[in-house]
Structure 1
Amino acid sequence: MERKQISNLVKQMNVDSATGPVDTRVQEIIVRLVTDLFQAIEELDIQPSEVWKGLEYLTDAGQANELGLLAAGLGLEHFLDLRADEIDLKAGITGGTPRTIEGPLYVAGAPESVGFARMDDGSESNKIDTLIIEGTVTDTEGNPIENAKVEIWHANSLGNYSFFDKAQSEFNLRRTIFTNDKGKYVALTTMPVGYGCPPEGTTQALLNKLGRHGNRPSHVHYFVSAPGFRKLTTQFNIEGDQYLWDDFAFATRDGLVATAVDVTDSSEIKRYGVDRPFKHITFNISLAKDSVSAPSAEVERRRLCA
């Protein structure tokens, strides 16, 4: 069947057959996607059994709550970031910390504080290195932004996230820190580790078919926002991880690689209020001013809320 025939067929089924109110945007998107799907079935000679196996896979992935993971693994989230970069550039928005993927593991409602927060509940204090993350939030000209909202979340020593991992306490390794009058924030936490997709999960099953691994490097997620500035969704990946530039979710970008420095000096240990050597990461954040000429940087999607 030729493209024109397919297009007419899809239009007949999904446009001409309408008998009630139509959401024209949804209709436009569905017609295009279904037309492209039918064209792919024709060109690739996709068999009925393969179509139904694909639908069964999506059903299983949805039931396993892995569609968000799949979106990252197939590069969909990364593509949306690259497209957003292009849109910003056309709107004259330049500079600022690079964006990268959110991933599927954010939880709204983390405890809030100003300037400083301890993120961990102490349950892994003797199992993994202490980490102090600090930085300054500024505009693209370097002026500090007071009261910027810095939301931070990351995995524990087993690569698991609180709420999704019921063994962890509520909001373990999740905090919201508002910057102080100098634009600074400090987080006392533990070193995150890299992790992989659930080995028996639907995402890894598909990655296996593609000959790909499902591993992520050690990283820390951020939402950063302030009135008058574009919300930033980003993360830093930690230097030295074997998957730093081989992240299955394609989230590592220039400008988002952080180095964890060993701090052993007793005066520095005392100054930071800890009782032993620790790792230290500096992650400064630059926000671009908002613009009416660009789409909102706030992405609407379903997120867990405690």
Structure 2
Amino acid sequence: MTHNEIDQLVKSFIIDAAQAEANPRIQQIVLRLVSDLFKAIEDLDLSATEVWKGLEFLQEAGGRMELGLIAPGLGLDRFLDIRFDEAEAKLGITGGTPRTIEGPLYVSGAPVEQGFARLDDGSEIEQGQVLFMQGTVFGANGQPLPNSSVEVWHANLLGNYSYFDKSQSDFNLRRTIMTDDNGRYQFQSIMPKGYGCPPNGSTATLLGLLGRHGQRPAHIHFFISAEGHRKLTTQINIDGDEYLWDDFAFASREGLVPAVQQITDAAALAAHGLQKPYASIDFDFHLNAEVAEAPTTEVDRQRPQA
């Protein structure tokens, strides 16, 4: 069939077959996606077996709760960020901390702390290195933003996230920190490690067929929010990681790889009650002012709530 013939066929399925008032936006989207799918089947001469195997794969991936991994693995999450960046640039919204993907493992409802929080529950402190990370949240005018929200979450030393990993304590490695009067935040945690997709899962299977790995560099996720400013979704990567610039989720960006300092000074160790060196990361967040014409940075998606 020609593309025009396919367009007419799909129109008969989606538009002409409607017998009640339709949602015009949903109708528009389904018409386009089904048309593009049918054209791909025709152009690539997909067999019925290949089509059904694809549907079975999606069904299995959904059952494994892995669609949230496949999306970044195929670049969908990064593409949405690129569109955000382009839309903001057209409106002159520039200069803030780079955004990057949220990922599928945020959980709302983490305990709220003022100025400082300890993220880890202490269960891995002997195996890992203590990390202190600190900085300032700045507004669009370059001034610090007191009482802004710094939501932070990351994986444990096995690459697992609390809530999804039931062996971890509630909200382990998850907190919301409200900045102090000087716009400052700080947290204590353990230095995260990189990890990979479930080795026998749907994402790893697909990436393997594409000749790709499913590894992520060590990273820490953030939501940064303040009144009158655009919400920032971002993450920092840990410098020196093997996969720092080879992230299967395409989330690595310039400006999001702060230096890691190794603190060995005896007085500094004593001040934190530590007996072995710890890592320290300084990182400031710069927010952009909210602009009415800009696409909202509040993404409405299903997220677990503990």
TM-score (norm 1): 0.98
Amino acid at match of 1:143: Q
Q: Which residue of 2 aligns with 1:298?
A: 298
Q: Which residue of 1 aligns with 2:266?
A: 266
User: Is 1:130 matched with 2:130?
Assistant: yes
Give, in whole Å, the separation in 2 of the partners of 1:221 and 1:86: 22
User: Is 1:198 matched with 2:210?
Assistant: no
- Alpha-carbon displacement from aligned partner over 1:64-106 (angstroms, at most 9, x marks no partner): 0000000010100000001110001112211100000000000
Give, in whole Å, the separation in 1 of the partners of 2:285 and 2:133: 12
Give, in whole Å, the separation in 1 of the partners of 2:275 and 2:284: 25
Give, in whole Å, the separation in 2 of the partners of 1:177 and 1:274: 23
Q: State the secondary structure of the residue aligned to 2:122.
A: coil
Root-mean-square deviation (Å): 0.9
Amino acid at match of 1:243: Y
Give, in whole Å, the separation in 2 of the partners of 1:227 and 1:117: 22
Which structure 2 residue ranges, 5 or more long, are not aligned? none
Amino acid at match of 2:217: P
Percent of matched pairs sharing the same residue: 56
Amino acid at match of 1:52: W
Give, in whole Å, the separation in 1 of the partners of 2:272 and 2:186: 10
Amino acid at match of 1:105: L
Per the TM alignment, residue 273 of structure 1 is displaced from its structure 2 partner at its CA by: 4.5
Give, in whole Å, the separation in 2 of the partners of 1:303 and 1:84: 21
Amino acid at match of 1:245: W
Give the ranges of 4+ consecutive aligned residues of structure 1 lying more than 6 Å apart after TM superposition.
none
Give, in whole Å, the separation in 2 of the partners of 1:154 and 1:197: 15
Q: Which residue of 1 aligns with 2:168?
A: 168
Q: State the secondary structure of the residue aligned to 1:16.
A: coil
Give, in whole Å, the separation in 1 of the partners of 2:89 and 2:274: 43
Give, in whole Å, the separation in 2 of the partners of 1:274 and 1:145: 31
Match runs of 1:140-179 below 5 Å: 140-179=140-179
Q: Which residue of 1 aligns with 2:52?
A: 52
Which structure 1 residue ranges, 5 or more long, are not aligned? none
Cα contact 2:236–2:258 (8 A) shared by 1:
yes
Aligned residues: 306
User: Is 1:117 matched with 2:117?
Assistant: yes
Amino acid at match of 2:197: C
Match runs of 1:72-87 below 5 Å: 72-87=72-87
User: Is 1:35 matched with 2:35?
Assistant: yes
